[in-house]
Structure 1
């Protein structure tokens, strides 16, 4: 019987096996470093043979890259209100960083390994560069808006400052076993990097009083 027009087909057996490989990799990465994971483990977790594994991925690295692209949207999913807003909005920044911290808590081994390996691995470097550029572009635009409106003081070039903030976040989350515990400190540091110390001004009080 033919499929009715407009009806979506379910995932194929190949799609399910590919997803099973990715889920196996995700589960294994929660327990041990990427370097200790083998193709045999990935194949066994997906209930396929080692030779069948290569029908879906040509290497362990290809699995990791697919996992990373799968979570790329999550890395910036809740950042819109902060990046598209203006002024020292501590609550929007905290919401963005809190969502990011949860992702680092759940996917920290994958992300830490990817960032560490990126300098010597073109596919990972391309993923990392694209991720960083997307955040830096939007944050630099925000800094430019706030400086033009007199809400933020002059300082380093917006893209330079945005890049420093992005690198700080990555290093902070990659270097801790408890990403969520860093959120409040990162809120304070990032706001001060952008808005400086305004002394007794309303902007200064907003930054200092951020919980």
Structure 2
């Protein structure tokens, strides 16, 4: 059995190398220009070896998106349970800026492919649902009532979530300064929605 464990660890390292290479290539070349050969070369393995782990570059990207949104899920859960509403909103957007700065090309690829790749679409929808739940919890703690009306916390949270996604998507293509500015605008809108501005 010791040999089997060593093989699994080596496999995990290779899989991580493939995903890390994919993230670099998305930033440098984009999805369309990236090839399986690029992925294999960057990971230090043959094309044949890469196919042992993934059946296509789309599968590699899907696995990378899954790894990245895991970080997003952790952040949204923390926000839902954290701090008083004003602090929670600031913390949520600060964390979101950090993630977009670190993984912008992956997040943009996830958004771009979510409508055409069912696995990525399901991951992104689940991520949005978790963020909507977290935003709803913050709004309710701020005194916005729950329920199904257009002015209730769940509906407002859904609109805020998709507004933040599109705003960050566009700002992240411009500069870190624009991303930070966009976060400030989103924070202002979220605070106003929660009734936390004078």
Superposition TM-score, scaled by structure 2 size: 0.82
Q: Which residue number in structure 1 is paired with residue 26 of structure 2?
A: 29
Q: Which residue number in structure 2 is paired with residue 94 of structure 1?
A: 90
Q: Secondary structure at the match of 1:166?
A: helix
Change in 2 beyond 3 A, CA 1:204/1:100 = closer
Contact 2:114 2:121 in 1 (8 A): yes
Which residue, out of 154, 157, 163, partners 1:162?
A: 157
The root-mean-square deviation of aligned C-alpha atoms, in Å, is 2.5
1:67-146 to structure 2, matched below 5 A, reads 67-79=64-76, 82-84=79-81, 88-89=85-86, 91-145=87-141, 146=143
Change in 2 beyond 3 A, CA 1:184/1:118 = same
Contact 2:79 2:92 in 1 (8 A): yes
Q: Secondary structure at the match of 1:175?
A: helix
Q: Which residue number in structure 1 is paired with residue 60 of structure 2?
A: 63
Q: Secondary structure at the match of 2:162?
A: helix
CA distance in 1, matches of 2:59, 2:161: 26
Considering only CA atoms, is the larger Rg found in Structure 1 or Structure 2?
1
Where structure 1 has 5 or more consecutive residues not aligned to the other structure, the ranges are 196-202, 206-211
Which residue, out of 23, 45, 49, partners 1:48?
A: 45
Superposition TM-score, scaled by structure 1 size: 0.78
